Copies of this chain bind each other. A is one copy, B any other.
Amino acid sequence: MPPRRATAPRWSASERGATALIALDWGTSSLRAFRLDDDGAVLERRETDRGILSVRNGNFAAVLLEVAGDWLRHDREPLLASGMIGSRQGWIEAPYVACPASIDQIAASLVPLPADAGVRGWIVPGVNCRRAGGEPDVMRGEETQILGVLGELPADVRSLCLPGTHSKWASLSDGRITEFSTWMTGEVFAVLAQHSILARTIEGNVFDAAAFDAGVARGREPLLRELFALRARGLFAEVAPQAAHSFLSGLLIGTECAAAGTAVGRVALVGSRRLTGLYARALEKFGVDTIVLTEDAAARGLYNLATRARRNEQ
């Protein structure tokens, strides 16, 4: 807790360090829970593998109690959850808000938890769009992370990249998410490294910067060809088995960045320190400037949404 709180408590209705919001980033494979104070500061955080795929028989309430039951003891702290928890496979489906989507529209579309949940909680809707090319796209959770960093973006940054299993690239205008695209980079990496012939080329997963960069450098070439070329480089000992994991990572991230990162200006990277670092490194090779925002974007987005929803209610 920051020292200023100890000397100048700002709480009126409740004790110092009181919970003002329980924020959940509840995805497919993980559940991250945050206890926030009235200013949005993170008082406590918990990271678990209780993603929605791990929840049996729709028993989300039980998992919530297991992970954050002690935070809920006063039964008055509101709870806000984003991510796949609002999908058809989640607790309750929260219909998508269509692009262009503003924080006001998203805040106005929160879906309350069922009455029998035993918690005063809401779920954040996902966002969908239809790109100029005609294809639909969807996000659940990333919209909340975007709302978490909106206030920190320099004025010239209108593009965000959220790397991950399914990376998102979003365009902003006037504080709205105007369009976005999803890239299956992380998942393609995982299935190829594990299930394709490239598994025989790869040994271990220690990061090798030179191999990563060599992979990135092939990012403008046709991916389906470059994948086999990595196999051939392995056969001719031009990429060591210990370097192949990083080469494949660089090739896939480079392929995404070369296509998605051009003509979008400076890009804000939002996500884990490790992944945003790799993307910043790849984008730099293609001459794209980045700023990296790694701190609790989901928790801050949930706080911003709760604040906005409360204000809208008044």
* Residues on A facing B (Cβ under 8 Å): 133, 135-138, 166, 181-185, 187-188, 191-192, 194-197, 221-229, 231-233, 235-236, 238, 252, 255-256, 259-260
Contact = CB atoms under 8 A, between A and B. Distances in A.
26 contacts: A135-B226, A136-B233, A136-B235, A137-B229, A138-B232, A181-B225, A182-B228, A182-B232, A184-B196, A184-B197, A184-B231, A185-B224, A187-B196, A187-B197, A188-B192, A188-B224, A191-B191, A191-B192, A195-B195, A222-B256, A222-B260, A223-B223, A223-B224, A223-B255, A224-B256, A225-B260
Contacts of A192: 188, 191
A41 B196 CA distance: 37
Contacts of A138: 232, 235
Contacts of A260: 222, 225
Contacts of A185: 224
Contact of A227 (B184, B194, B196, B221): B184
B255 A224 contact: yes
Contacts of A187: 196-197
Given A137-B232, A191-B191, A195-B195, 20 more contacts: A136-B229, A136-B232, A138-B232, A181-B225, A182-B228, A183-B222, A183-B224, A183-B228, A184-B197, A184-B224, A184-B225, A184-B227, A184-B228, A185-B224, A188-B196, A191-B192, A191-B195, A222-B255, A223-B224, A224-B256
- Which residue, of A137, A185, A252, has the highest number of chain B Cβ atoms within 10 A? A137
A200 to B, nearest CB: 10
